[in-house]
Amino acid sequence: YIHRIPVWCQLDLLPESFDQSSILCLNKAVIGQLMRWHRDDPVSQKEILRNKSIGLLQGNSNPFVDQPDLAYAVFSELTWTDEIDVSPNGSGFSISGDWLYLENDVLQPFSYEIFDTMGRLIKAGHVKGDRIFTGGLTGGIYVVCIRLDGERQCIKLVK
């Protein structure tokens, strides 16, 4: 149906929530809401089995059920770099006990968000200093996103 979106936009058949200047036609608020739903309602085993059954009948399946991370690749503003860091926790920070220490030359307040591997927000807050309390997080892999001076940087945390 993607080839029909420009026609629908030109014929005023879409509600105002659609951005007619984009091939995706959805404005950022709608995409944001859909991504929150995607993050808060992960793919269930029932959906996986249903998707496999439909895939066998149709010869194709829903790629967003097969690979839920695809939604972030398509609809988020996250970008990839060619840089790869193979150390367990990357660089730019260190871990000691229940604290994540940032290598931050300028000690000013910043905000942070910690996501699990399903993209669910686990913890968020504001910090003044160079460390984030990670006590209470169970062992696993997390993504810690830090926002400072309008810039956002995400790092991998293995706890």
Domain boundaries, the chain: 1-41, 42-80, 93-158
What are residue 153's DSSP bridge partners?
Answer: 146
State the residue for tokens 């709608």: 30
Q: Both tokens of residue 119?
A: 């993209």
State the residue for tokens 């085993």: 45
Query: With the CA atoms of 97, 151, 86 and 126 taken in that order, what torsion angle do they form, in degrees rounded to the nearest 10?
Result: 10
Q: pTM of the predicted model, to two decimals?
A: 0.43
The topology (CATH level 3) of 93-158 is: Immunoglobulin-like (2.60.40)
Q: What is the pLDDT of residue 86?
A: 42
Q: Both tokens of residue 154?
A: 């995400």
Share of the chain above pLDDT 70, in %: 70
Q: What is the pLDDT of residue 87?
A: 43
Q: Which amino acid is at 107?
A: L
7-11, 28-32, 84-88, 139-143, range with greatest mean pLDDT:
139-143
State the residue for tokens 């972030």: 72
Flag whether pLDDT at 114 surpasses 90: yes
Flag whether pLDDT at 104 surpasses 50: yes
The Cα 9–Cα 19 span in angstroms is 8
Flag whether pLDDT at 55 surpasses 80: yes
Buried-exposed string 95-107: b where 16+ CB fall within 10 A, e elsewhere: eeeeebebeeeee
